[in-house]
Structure 1
């Protein structure tokens, strides 16, 4: 029942995929991008390893329509990809979840961090959530070695002993250095070998190849909360108890300027600067949702999936002030429905992009967009939650539709 829908954008022919059973979902997606002020995006769905929806719409920039080749900066969506790299290595014994990070990265042991394990890192219990004040200035984040040295010399937050604290920005660097030390290779090279190669898609980028940067959609509006001055707002939030943890973890001075700089595509910052296509996100989670296989190839072993998707930190997160139910590098997807999936994992990003795998239905979804959030805030909205809820309902009734 899968059909192709031919479209034309300029002189380049393109082809969308819409299974008839997902027509309501496609209609909802297209309704989101009717004018340039809404930007653009792409949505891909796999069911039991088969791509059943691949659609895109809207504008990648004011004078450029979104196309099959458009990719987008997707913020924390990249944490899920980085975590999956660790799981690929763990199933071959290159990394052990229960060994201390210092076993792979000796300098990390400084200031009482010698016993922090890989498992604790992947469940945001390393106590290194603070990015605010970690470096001298925001553009220091572009220097990978400077960041790694700062994290190795940082002192862990003692609250980590009582529960998780979301490492909103630092998580990616910590995982990247773990992977680099364990393999002896640069993190981006390992991503290409462990994710892009096996899945047959190139667009898993933290450092974007020069020749592909013209494909990146322009983000808008600015990421500033409520349109307020970032420097002023972040400083205030950092001194208010209920928001202090979030400001420490996600709001370094000058971050709003860094997000808009093309220099972010020269750096490796897997906690937030991943650039992906919707198909790349959906295909990775599609392999997980399909028992570890996709395209006739084994991507993850069932035992690895069982271990990596099991909830391991149920406590209240001292940064987010909620219970995300962290598994090993993933959170439970949030859907706009009364009943939330109980056997699903993924990772969403600031602004709206994200992806997840529902292991019960065998369905995965990837969504990327350049329109950050809603008219109220650029930090997020309900687009992915609503698309995910509809996709889950359709997947649950797949054989009867």
Structure 2
């Protein structure tokens, strides 16, 4: 297979067909869901363009429209095509598990909303009512809603060695966060909490239920949706099926390195290295290490589009879905971590009009991004649920541009209903 390779890029064949996998049995005809063959082809060409950038070793995509799968595809390899990877080429399959990174936040938030639905917690409850030690340094009045809306004042872990093994020290992380001084004593400023809020979400769940998060995720989300994976971390027996993450593209320099560290909480290259460490596979990181397939991730958002039901099973009440997707605070509040305005609900990044994270006229959309270019969302206006998963980690502007083009192609091919 003829390849061309640029520094910092993956090996890209001129003919992508050997690295393309389409689940034809799963896909319906585009015209059956108000789309066209040309629209689907435009979407796939944009995905191929993303792959040809040389920044993404593995890409999976699932799009549901009107509840039916119209695209379920993979492009790339599990191994053998990354920078410096000389192992045998193993093509990727559509049902490969891939880490959702920060998109895990949205799914972990669902577990907390299940407690709210059960009457065991309220969004306006103070975190310190359940975790008394969280009240240190003036954080006693922070509410669950503020925590899920990135207004808890603890966007960063205290200054500690960001070694992957720290992720296995749950109690120590919670202790550090409880002792942390908030950057905003008024808890009014929005600042994206990359990993920190997830541990407090998890601790709330543990203390209220007396159970561990993997068990709750399996019982409340994964099993009702028929998921093979959808797990915190990934079992050793399944790791050979999952493509590893790779640093690609330009070598990060200031100010990109500073911005990346603000968003990720650790240096960019350290974050990528940690994501391939055994400790990251073994740990429970509520805001960052759920592994799932694109199909499974799309099912989560389809369930929410359906008002809390999937395949005849009710997971959440409609009023719970409305609450979890309702904006927190002002529509365009500036985010002090991301450096841009970003509307949040209690658990989701929201779309916007005339243009937002999920494309043009996406004001009803909700979802989440993960490690820059993983992006999962639902758009009620278009009746779609989408999961675009990938493994290339890059600060190259061309990578962001081409992901934006994929999102735009999906929006154009799926007219409002």
Shorter-chain TM-score above 0.5: yes
Structure 1 residues 248, 35: CA separation in 2 closer, same or farther (over 3 Å shift)? Answer: closer
Structure 2 match to 1:88: 114
Deviation string 1:264-296 (CA, Å, 9 cap, x unpaired) is 101111222222211121110111122222212
The alignment status of 1:395 with 2:405, answered yes or no, reads: no
Structure 2 match to 1:227: 251
1:363 shift after superposition: 1.1
Alignment of 1:331-370 (within 5 A): 331-333=349-351, 334-335=356-357, 337=359, 339-370=360-391
2:404 is aligned, of 361, 385, 389, to 385
Conservation of the 8 A alpha-carbon contact between 1:73 and 1:276: yes
Select between 344-353 and 50-59 the one with higher mean Cα deviation.
50-59
Deviation string 1:183-242 (CA, Å, 9 cap, x unpaired) is 1111111111111012111322222122211111121126xx94248xxx69983xxxxx
Select between 120-129 and 315-324 the one with higher mean Cα deviation.
315-324
In 2, the alpha carbon distance for the partners of 1:96 and 1:336 equals 29
In 2, the alpha carbon distance for the partners of 1:16 and 1:372 equals 29
In 2, the alpha carbon distance for the partners of 1:208 and 1:335 equals 29
Structure 1 match to 2:8: none
Conservation of the 8 A alpha-carbon contact between 1:80 and 1:330: yes
Conservation of the 8 A alpha-carbon contact between 2:272 and 2:393: no
C-alpha RMSD of the superposition: 3.1
TM-score, normalised via structure 2 length: 0.81
Conservation of the 8 A alpha-carbon contact between 2:262 and 2:338: no
1:41 shift after superposition: 1.1
Structure 2 match to 1:3: none
Structure 1 residues not aligned, in runs of 5+? 1-6, 238-242
Conservation of the 8 A alpha-carbon contact between 1:48 and 1:289: no
1:250 is aligned, of 256, 261, 264, to 264
1:336 shift after superposition: 7.1
Structure 1 residues 23, 132: CA separation in 2 closer, same or farther (over 3 Å shift)? Answer: same
1:65 shift after superposition: 0.7
Conservation of the 8 A alpha-carbon contact between 2:96 and 2:293: yes
1:94 shift after superposition: 2.6
Structure 1 match to 2:313: 297
Structure 2 match to 1:19: 29
Structure 2 match to 1:40: 58
The alignment status of 1:67 with 2:93, answered yes or no, reads: yes
Structure 2 match to 1:52: 70
Conservation of the 8 A alpha-carbon contact between 1:41 and 1:56: yes
Structure 1 residues 236, 46: CA separation in 2 closer, same or farther (over 3 Å shift)? Answer: closer
Conservation of the 8 A alpha-carbon contact between 1:132 and 1:249: no
In 2, the alpha carbon distance for the partners of 1:395 and 1:72 equals 25
Structure 1 residues 235, 228: CA separation in 2 closer, same or farther (over 3 Å shift)? Answer: closer
In 1, the alpha carbon distance for the partners of 2:149 and 2:389 equals 25
Alignment of 1:79-228 (within 5 A): 79-131=105-157, 133-134=159-160, 137=163, 139-158=165-184, 161-221=187-247, 226-228=250-252
In 1, the alpha carbon distance for the partners of 2:338 and 2:129 equals 30
Structure 2 residues not aligned, in runs of 5+? 1-16, 81-88
Conservation of the 8 A alpha-carbon contact between 1:111 and 1:154: yes
The alignment status of 1:265 with 2:281, answered yes or no, reads: yes
Deviation string 1:358-383 (CA, Å, 9 cap, x unpaired) is 12232110111112347558xx6134
In 2, the alpha carbon distance for the partners of 1:126 and 1:336 equals 26
Structure 2 match to 1:311: 327
In 2, the alpha carbon distance for the partners of 1:362 and 1:214 equals 35
Structure 1 residues 164, 36: CA separation in 2 closer, same or farther (over 3 Å shift)? Answer: closer
TM-score, normalised via structure 1 length: 0.84
Structure 2 match to 1:279: 295
Conservation of the 8 A alpha-carbon contact between 1:365 and 1:388: no
Select between 362-371 and 66-75 the one with higher mean Cα deviation.
66-75
In 1, the alpha carbon distance for the partners of 2:358 and 2:401 equals 7
Select between 131-140 and 41-50 the one with higher mean Cα deviation.
131-140
